[in-house]
Amino acid sequence: DVKVTQSSRYLVKRTGEKVFLECVQDMDHENMFWYRQDPGLGLRLIYFSYDVKMKEKGDIPEGYSVSREKKERFSLILESASTNQTSMYLCASSFRQGEAFFGQGTRLTVV
Amino acid sequence: GNSVTQMEGPVTLSEEAFLTINCTYTATGYPSLFWYVQYPGEGLQLLLKATKADDKGSNKGFEATYRKETTSFHLEKGSVQVSDSAVYFCALSDSGGYQKVTFGTGTKLQVIP
């Protein structure tokens, strides 16, 4: 069974903290994605990666960075968390032009 | 850039009613098209897909046909069940470049007994 695993289901962090969200896939997919999901806004792409050490900005990259040192792992970093980054974060992976497989999501609250 | 537009929800239907959720897209080239479903408290899972014009994707009684002439991929089901209550997302994947996946805003479906 294909699997995308996000390290936490729920996180509470303080304003100004550096936050790491981890995602691991076991399908040898080239592409990996980070989205945030907010009510009424659907899924918005933050960053994606099409190969190891390669990354591209999505639609809302401000305040975020990413790291992909190994093919199976894609990390999202909030350099200095702010309350407007409170959201559901979804990681996904895919083969080229294939369907995306999603993790369970991480609900992040910044207080 | 690419975009996906789907009908606003929420959609409330009685059990056994017919469902249509409209989806239209803007993209260059020949994207692949998808419908995803998100049940409460869960991540998204693929419901069905179509990779070229006139293809019909189907799964669990849901169907959608890739219409290039109208740039549409409407989701239909003949008889909905309470267990179909979820949020449905239309999406497309680039045919070239980095194949990033673009999603619509989602349509919440509530089916009442």
How close does chain A come to B40, measured CA to CA in Å?
11
Residue B2: Cβ-neighbour burial (10 angstroms; 0-12, 13-18, 19+):
middle
Nearest CB neighbour to A43, from listed B34, B49, B103 = B103
Reported as a single tens digit per residue, the pLDDT across A33-59 is 999 999 888 889 999 998 898 999 998
Mean pLDDT of chain A: 93
CB spacing of A99 vs B106 below 8 angstroms? no
- The side-by-side arrangement of strands in the sheet containing B62-65 is B19-21, B75-77, B62-65, B56-59
Per the CB < 8 Å rule, is B32 touching A40?
Answer: no
| Tokens of residue A86, six digits | 């409170």
What residue of A is the nearest CA neighbor of B99?
A97
| pLDDT above 90 coverage of chain A, percent | 78
Cβ neighbors of B106 (< 8 A, separation 6 or more) are A42, A43, B6, B9, B38, B87, B88, B89
Strands B11-14, B107-112: parallel, antiparallel or unpaired by DSSP? Answer: parallel
CB–CB contact B45 A102 (8 Å): yes
Please give the average pLDDT of every successive group of 10 residues along chain B, which has 113 residues: 88 97 91 93 91 94 96 97 96 75 92 96
CA distance A5 to chain B (A): 11
pLDDT at B8: 83
List % helix, strand, coil for chain A (3-state, nearest 5).
Answer: 5, 60, 40
Residue contact B93–A99, C-beta within 8 A: yes
**Residue A63: band (very low, low, confident or very high) from pLDDT cuts 50, 70, 90:** very high
Q: What CA–CA distance (Å, rounded) separates B4 from A93?
A: 20
Report d(CA B72, CA B87) in Å as an integer: 19
* Interchain proximity B95–A98, CB inside 8 Å: no
Q: Residue B44's closest chain A neighbor by CA?
A: A102
